[in-house]
Amino acid sequence: MSTYNGRMERADAARNRARILEAAARLFAERSPQDVTMDDIARAAGVGRGTLYRRYPDRAAIAVALLDEHERELQERLLRGEPPLGPGAPPAERLAAFYAAMVRLLEDHSHLVLGSEVGRTRFETGAYGFWRAHVRVLLDAAGTPGPDALVDVLLAPLAPEVYRYQRTVLGLTPAQIAGALAGLTKVLGS
Amino acid sequence: MSTYNGRMERADAARNRARILEAAARLFAERSPQDVTMDDIARAAGVGRGTLYRRYPDRAAIAVALLDEHERELQERLLRGEPPLGPGAPPAERLAAFYAAMVRLLEDHSHLVLGSEVGRTRFETGAYGFWRAHVRVLLDAAGTPGPDALVDVLLAPLAPEVYRYQRTVLGLTPAQIAGALAGLTKVLGS
DNA sequence: TAGTGAAGCGGACGTTGTGTCCATTTATCT
DNA sequence: AGATAAATGGACACAACGTCCGCTTCACTA
């Protein structure tokens, strides 16, 4: 940290990045993400417009950065964690565990996810690709026919808009939603 | 048509409505709906901005108007048509038929649906409420536990973004997608 | 510790799309 | 034809976007 060798981030840059992330997290938490403008974030962070755009081209990029560590942690557990989330359990049980973990993640960070994944951009994030690969592996392991089309069908209910609607408008509990998702594991039976 | 008694639409109004709908349909078909501005539609229809906004407050309203007759027709068939789409068949078969019909509708009009249902606004349209009620009835008939949460889970894969992604990016066929959806009917077994 | 090159900063600016407002036009009724 | 109210359309004010560039701050160096 004491020496600067050309690949490290400059001190003022690091400070501003922290400010931006902190301010964005606060704003995303307190109101609907699509009502938070880039201007708002820049002002709340105490940086200029240009500084903000230098790092994050849009709201989605900021939300992705905020989500990053949570997603990484879940991805890590999926790959190398204990069963049933990690390898070792039967595909149907692993899928159910995955659903439960995703409900947890949506519950804790749905405002962030909503900020990052608006409609079709959802499919373009790296995270979606990861969830997709994971479910695809489970389908293959279960020998389910026609896995290509089924993958996205099984992931669709995890769209943040859907979760948000179920929680907020319908007043369902996370447990109820997780229960319904667990029911989807029946389709794995070949 | 020859007499005007205060509840009929004025002739110029009717003419402009037709122009707007026609122009909007053309524009939605030829490029991505979110790239079509209200200005574009007004200009293409040969009407002024104010005229357009008088009737349709936003793009979604126009797309809904365009979709209306197609949706109505399907709704009619669900309520009073022949089985398995209409009443009479077992719930699982009716659900599969519903999925097949929705795939057809998405295939024919996905650009319109994309124009009308952007993210969370999807749940606010009258059509979504109808699909929801229909699936809910099927779940009740099948005696599936926890139907409240399951309804939206089963409808989620029909989100236009998902269908578009499967068709365009993944290159799947409508038949493949319909097949995967048909697999979801397994969850109906109580 | 003063000098130097470059990375980083920030706010002014031009652009685009939105939604409203109201003077003018136009259709229908009498 | 004249009266009246609905309908029109473009000008306007506004909000957010994304870029550009002169100035500042940092980290290295001698």
Write the pLDDT tens digit of every residue in A60-95: 899 989 988 899 999 999 999 999 999 999 999 999
Distance from chain centroid for Cα B165: 17
Q: In the predicted model, is pLDDT for residue A120 greater than 80? A: no
Does B4 map to a domain? Answer: no
Looking at the structure, do residues A75 and A114 belong to the same domain, yes or no? yes
- Of the pLDDT bands very low, low, confident and very high (cuts 50, 70, 90), residue A2 is very low
Q: Would you call A172 an interface residue with chain B, using a CB distance cutoff of 8 Å? A: yes
The three-state DSSP-derived secondary structure of A16-48 is: HHHHHHHHHHHHHHHCCHHHCCHHHHHHHHCCC
Q: What's the CA B58/C1' C19 distance, rounded, in angstroms?
A: 10
Does B176 map to a domain? Answer: yes
Q: Chain B closest CA to A158's CA: distance in Å?
A: 8
* Nucleotide nearest B9, from its CA to each C1': D6
- Of the pLDDT bands very low, low, confident and very high (cuts 50, 70, 90), residue B6 is very low
Which protein residues have any CB–strand D distance under 7 A? A 3-6, 8, 10-12, 37-39, 49-50, 53, 57-59; B 9-10, 12-13, 15-16, 46-51, 54-55
Residues of B in contact with A189 (CB under 8 A): 186
Looking at the structure, do residues A2 and A31 belong to the same domain, yes or no? yes
Q: Would you call B149 an interface residue with chain A, using a CB distance cutoff of 8 Å? A: yes
**Single-letter residue type at B134:** H
Looking at the structure, do residues A31 and A111 belong to the same domain, yes or no? no
Among residues A57, A86, A101, the one where a domain terminates is A57
**Looking at A109-118, B22-31, B73-82, which range is the least confident one?**
A109-118
Cβ within 8 Å, pair A170-B148 = yes
Cβ neighbourhood burial of B46 (10 Å; 0-12, 13-18, 19+)? exposed
Report pLDDT for A109. 87
Q: Report the distance separating Cα B78 and Cα A120, nearest Å.
A: 29
Question: Model confidence over B91-117: pLDDT tens digits?
Answer: 999 999 999 999 999 999 888 777 666
Question: Model confidence over B141-174: pLDDT tens digits?
Answer: 999 999 999 999 999 999 988 999 999 999 999 9
Does B70 map to a domain? Answer: yes
B73 touches strand C (CB under 7 A): no
Q: In the predicted model, is pLDDT for residue A22 greater than 50? A: yes
Q: What's the CA B48/C1' C21 distance, rounded, in angstroms?
A: 13
Looking at the structure, do residues B163 and B138 belong to the same domain, yes or no? yes
Q: Would you call A170 an interface residue with chain B, using a CB distance cutoff of 8 Å? A: yes
Cβ proximity of B55 and B17 under 8 Å:
yes
Tokens of B145: 């536990």
SS3 A90: coil
Q: In the predicted model, is pLDDT for residue A1 greater than 50? A: no
Q: What's the CA B2/C1' C27 distance, rounded, in angstroms?
A: 12
SS3 B89: strand
- Mean pLDDT, residues B129-140 taken together: 97
**Average pLDDT score over chain A:** 91
Report pLDDT for A110. 80
Looking at the structure, do residues B156 and B175 belong to the same domain, yes or no? yes
Tokens of A50: 């240009």
Q: Report the distance separating Cα A112 and Cα A109, nearest Å.
A: 5
- Of the pLDDT bands very low, low, confident and very high (cuts 50, 70, 90), residue A118 is low
Looking at the structure, do residues B180 and B111 belong to the same domain, yes or no? yes
Looking at the structure, do residues B97 and B174 belong to the same domain, yes or no? yes
Looking at the structure, do residues A51 and A114 belong to the same domain, yes or no? no
Q: Would you call A152 an interface residue with chain B, using a CB distance cutoff of 8 Å? A: yes
Q: In the predicted model, is pLDDT for residue A129 greater than 60? A: yes
Q: Report the distance separating Cα B152 and Cα A189, nearest Å.
A: 22
Domain CATH for B73: 1.10.357
Question: Model confidence over B33-85: pLDDT tens digits?
Answer: 889 999 999 999 999 999 999 999 999 899 989 998 899 999 999 999 999 99
Q: Which domain holds residue A111?
A: 59-188
Residues of B in contact with A177 (CB under 8 A): 149, 153
Cβ proximity of A113 and A125 under 8 Å:
no
Looking at the structure, do residues B67 and B51 belong to the same domain, yes or no? no
Tell me chain A's radius of gyration from C-alpha atoms. 19
Distance from chain centroid for Cα B78: 14
Looking at the structure, do residues B33 and B76 belong to the same domain, yes or no? no
Question: Model confidence over A88-107: pLDDT tens digits?
Answer: 999 999 999 999 999 999 99
Q: What's the CA A121/C1' D16 distance, rounded, in angstroms?
A: 20
Report pLDDT for B62. 93
Q: Alpha helix (H) ranges present in A36-159?
A: 38-45, 49-55, 59-80, 91-116, 126-142, 147-155
Domain CATH for B46: 1.10.10.60
Looking at the structure, do residues B113 and B124 belong to the same domain, yes or no? yes
Q: In the predicted model, is pLDDT for residue A189 greater than 50? A: yes
Counted domains in chain A: 2
Q: Would you call A1 an interface residue with chain B, using a CB distance cutoff of 8 Å? A: no
Between B137 and B3, the more confident residue is B137
Looking at the structure, do residues B33 and B124 belong to the same domain, yes or no? no
